Amino acid sequence: MSVDLATVRKIAGLARIAMNDAEAEALVPELNKILGMVEQLGEVDTSGVEPLAAVIPNHLRLRDDVVTHDATGGGIRDAVLKNAPQAEHGFFAVPKVIE
């Protein structure tokens, strides 16, 4: 499989990366070179092989359903908003999404 300019544009759209013509065109051969390398995997017989889910066996833990008072918990609104490019009235602000 190989990508063409239209595919690169489509992927850039999915990846939310703005790209001019020159950038998109430059990526076509680069991505094809990398895809050419990964194509090799098609020759491996993986029938009956399960895709790897966890590299080191570990069970998923559940934590108590309570508010924790650390950086993963609640009650730290100002800290959460501190690095926002734009925050207003205690919220993240973005361009208008409803006309």
Partner 1 sequence: MSADLTDLGIAAIRDGVAAGTFSAREVATAFNAAVEQGRPLNAWLVETPELALAAADTADAARVSGDLKPLSGVPLGIKDLFATKGVETTAASSILKGFVPEYESTVSGKLFAAGAGMLGKLNLDQFAMGSSNETSAFGNVISPWKRNDGGNASLAPGGSSGGSSSAVSARMAPGATGTDTGGSIRQPAAFTGISGIKPTYGRCSRWGVVAFASSLDQAGPMARDVRDCAIMLEAMSGFDAKDATSLDIPVPAWEKGLSGDLKGKKVGVPKEYRVDNMPPEIEALWQQGIDFVKDAGAEIVEVSLPHTKYALPTYYIIAPAEASSNLARYDGVRYGLRDLPDGANLQQMYAATRAEGFGAEVKRRIMIGTYVLSAGFYDAYFTQAQKVRSLIVRDFEQAFAQCDVLLTPTAPSAAFGLGEKSDDPIAMYLNDVFTVPSSLAGLPAMSVPGGLDGQGLPLGLQIIGRPLDEQGVLNAALAIEERAGFTARPKVWW
| Residue ranges in contact with partner 1 by CB under 8 A | 1, 3, 7-8, 11-19, 27, 30-31, 33-35, 37-42, 44, 46, 49-56, 58, 60-61, 63, 71-72, 76, 79-80, 82-86, 92, 94-97
Q: How far is the CB of 67 from partner 1 (least distance, A)?
A: 15
Q: How far is the CB of 21 from partner 1 (least distance, A)?
A: 13
The DSSP annotation for the chain comes to ----HHHHHHHHHHTT----HHHHHHHHHHHHHHHHHHGGGGGS--TTPPPP--SS--PPP---SS--SSTTSSS-HHHHHTT-SSEETTEE--S----
Q: How far is the CB of 58 from partner 1 (least distance, A)?
A: 6
